Structure 1
Amino acid sequence: MKLNLSYKLIIYIVLLQSLSSCKVGRFIVYNFADINDHKKFPSRSIEKDSISFQFTEAKVSKIPDSVTVRKEKTSFKTYLEDNETVAFLVIRNDTLLYENYWYDYNRSSIVPSFSMAKSVTSILIGIAIDEGLITSVNEPVTNYIPELKDNGFNEVSLEHLLQMTSGLKFNEGYYNPFGTVATFYYGRRLRKAVEKLELENPPGVGFSYTSGEAQLLGLVLERALNGQTISSYLEEKLWKPLQMEYDASWSIDKKKNGLEKTFCCLNARARDFAKLGRLYLNKGNWNGQQIVSKAWVERSTAIDTTNGSSWEYQYQWWIPTKTGDFMAEGILGQYIYVDPKTNLIIVRLGKSNGDTNFENLFINMSSYYKTQN
């Protein structure tokens, strides 16, 4: 009996090791994306500057007392906790009106961005264009990834990728261990996976949200940087100039010569995510320094329905309404919401989206602050 148990244990350990070495195995072991995913993958560090920008903290929290859900009122704090929120920040006019954490999370807790990283990738593409490292959004992606010429990408421009109108064939289903997104998320050959992508429709016909386009932009950026890593570029162009409070990291596909997962996986803290919102609230200007051009910020958050584009999504940013607000969004309910009309920034990070619609909450909160001094 002891011998059989020993053999079973050995077989179990070998099976686990073999599973963890492949994409499907890692999918089975880790199952579904969760808030601790920054601990599962190798990453590159991103260092903060020696000087940290701090929002002014309000002496008294200024938030709605309650919210009404399904015709029932509940306290604002309870509503957030019940919907698995781990961090919630409200900033207006550079003043932190509300900051709270739940489930043993606090100000220094790391939370993965998930798809909010797509918006950060867009910022870096804009900076690279400002600096002449990338010529324009009208360039074909094959200028940077010539391997895709044989896959029919000659007519796919960087703008198609930014607007997700490339016609890319990509399975975004997170529950499918054999799907494309699982290959990108759990696989260890991200560059090869990108080079194997194919088109399902002609570019410029219609909008279809896929992580593949954001990762294509990542490979474009890496090649434009000519040896500098994307994490290093982020540190140089954003993390230090924005005087982030904490170091950060960006998950990569493998330890040696890895590529940043630019469709996801920037790991940081709530206050530092808020500073990315502040940058775009101020049209790319940070305390007098133009970090990314005003034109890029405006183009990234404009309403556009031409060439197959959706008014709800521009340059890797979501557009909740047609009144000027915009946001970065991640799969488990990670949000950076910005409304220039009310000088409002909201950061919500969570274990899941909960049983609610946070986008509606942000819109209603913006209306609430219109009535406040």
Structure 2
Amino acid sequence: MNNFEDLIEKEYSNIAGIAIRKDNHLIYEKYFDGYTQDDALHIASVTKSIISILIGMAIDKGYMIIEQHVLDFFPNYIVKRGEKTIQNITIANLLSMTAPYKYKSEPYTKVYSSDDWVKAALDLLGGKGSIGVFNYSTVGTHILSGVLTTATGQSVLDFATENLFKPLAIKAPTNTTIQNKEDYFAFLKDKYVTGWIVDPKEVNTAGWGLTLTTRDMAKIGQLYLNGGVWNGRQILSSQWIEDSTKVHSRSGKLTYGYLWWILDDCYAALGDGGNVIFINPQKKMVISIASRFMPRAKDRVELIRKHMMPLFE
């Protein structure tokens, strides 16, 4: 154990917290660099997997169906003349990263400096690419927040608070805004960051921008491991968990579900900097890792498989 914790401090120095649950119990918890169990961190693209959960809950409640066309939720959106691809893109395409876009590299600044991020993302959707080909997009994922807001009649934060955060006893974040690139980097680098980023229309981000504690992340992993049951209450259908964690798209050796990465017999929410919710159904184990922002952080999946699972299984 001492060797393991030394390894974290020496080779994975941006890790702030680790929580491990097995057989429905918290069996290990450790914090580094002055962090505690109460400190939230920006979980980066792990946010996408939270959005997957919320979409599943909305489907469970009858607000939408998985193969529904995205534009059904934006009746006032004007499709440019001659564009046909965008009209055939479905919620499933956005969830499985199989929607085409009109850019070669993601225009983050263009989208996040606009006054309507959902519309800016819709303007990039479609083009000459093929539907069904894996095409990982963070800005495009924001459209799903627009879908959720339209379908449920609630903000993403309110829907998440009512249906996910409160049942799991997770302290709901507050909305927070960024005005420019400086605000964006300040949010990424703030040691004690809190909140959930919203765009100028008060639509919460779907691809990044949510802050949670290490324990919160472990609870969400446990919810999936439990088949959607928490404290005896079914808050998410087991059908959605099955659907969202099976392979829907591929890119080389990488396989992807509905905003979850599929890793052989395990699956995970993975975020920049080394934020992870890792779920091993066979061993009934959940591992969550919260990390401070760091470009090109060392691979956490290797850390989990090589050093953590053998130690705690």
Shorter-normalised TM range: 0.7 to 0.9
For 1:229, which of 155, 160, 163 is the aligned residue? 155
| Letter matched to residue 128 of structure 1 | A
Corresponding position of 2:69:
140
| Cα distance change on mapping 1:312 and 1:283 into 2, 3 Å | same
| Letter matched to residue 202 of structure 2 | G
| Letter matched to residue 58 of structure 2 | A
Cα distance, 1:367 vs. partner? 5.0
Cα distance, 1:203 vs. partner? 4.1
Corresponding position of 2:197:
251
Question: 1:1-373 to 2 correspondence within 5 Å?
Answer: 65=1, 75-82=3-10, 83=12, 84-134=14-64, 136-146=65-75, 147=77, 149-150=79-80, 151-152=83-84, 153-170=86-103, 180-185=107-112, 187-226=114-153, 228-244=154-170, 246-249=171-174, 250-254=196-200, 257-305=201-249, 312-320=255-263, 322-323=264-265, 325-351=266-292, 352=294, 356-365=298-307, 367-368=309-310, 372=313
Cα distance, 1:305 vs. partner? 4.8
Whether the 8 Å contact between 1:303 and 1:311 is mirrored in structure 2 is no
Please list the CA deviations of residues 24-68 of structure 1 after superposition, one character each: whole Å capped at 9, or x if unmatched. xxxxxxxxxxxxxxxxxxxxxxxxxxxxxxxxxxxxxxxxx37xx
Whether the 8 Å contact between 1:168 and 1:197 is mirrored in structure 2 is yes
Give distance in 2, aligned partners of 1:79 and 1:353.
19
| Cα distance change on mapping 1:300 and 1:80 into 2, 3 Å | same
| Letter matched to residue 303 of structure 1 | V
Give distance in 2, aligned partners of 1:251 and 1:208.
24
Give distance in 2, aligned partners of 1:222 and 1:96.
34
Give distance in 2, aligned partners of 1:248 and 1:171.
33
Q: Structure 2: give runs of 5+ residues left out of the alignment.
A: 175-195
Give distance in 1, aligned partners of 2:78 and 2:234.
34
| Letter matched to residue 363 of structure 1 | R
Please list the CA deviations of residues 152-192 of structure 1 after superposition, one character each: whole Å capped at 9, or x if unmatched. 311111111110001123455xxxxxx51233455553133
Give distance in 2, aligned partners of 1:231 and 1:301.
23
Whether the 8 Å contact between 2:21 and 2:28 is mirrored in structure 1 is yes
Higher alpha-carbon Rg: 1
Give distance in 1, aligned partners of 2:260 and 2:160.
18
Whether the 8 Å contact between 2:4 and 2:307 is mirrored in structure 1 is no
Give distance in 2, aligned partners of 1:132 and 1:341.
31
Please list the CA deviations of residues 115-162 of structure 1 after superposition, one character each: whole Å capped at 9, or x if unmatched. 11111111111111111111x111111111242643531111111111
Please list the CA deviations of residues 98-121 of structure 1 after superposition, one character each: whole Å capped at 9, or x if unmatched. 211112211111201211111111
Whether the 8 Å contact between 1:156 and 1:203 is mirrored in structure 2 is no
| Cα distance change on mapping 1:312 and 1:368 into 2, 3 Å | same
- What's the % identity of the aligned pairs? 27
Whether the 8 Å contact between 2:97 and 2:136 is mirrored in structure 1 is yes
What SS class does the counterpart of residue 210 from structure 1 fall into?
coil
Cα distance, 1:199 vs. partner? 2.3
| Cα distance change on mapping 1:103 and 1:276 into 2, 3 Å | same
| Cα distance change on mapping 1:148 and 1:309 into 2, 3 Å | farther
What SS class does the counterpart of residue 335 from structure 1 fall into?
strand
What SS class does the counterpart of residue 119 from structure 1 fall into?
helix
Whether the 8 Å contact between 2:228 and 2:237 is mirrored in structure 1 is yes
| Letter matched to residue 239 of structure 2 | A
What SS class does the counterpart of residue 120 from structure 1 fall into?
helix
| Letter matched to residue 248 of structure 1 | P
**Structure 2 length as normaliser, TM-score?**
0.83
Give distance in 2, aligned partners of 1:88 and 1:328.
15
What SS class does the counterpart of residue 161 from structure 1 fall into?
helix
Give distance in 1, aligned partners of 2:45 and 2:104.
16
Whether the 8 Å contact between 1:342 and 1:366 is mirrored in structure 2 is no
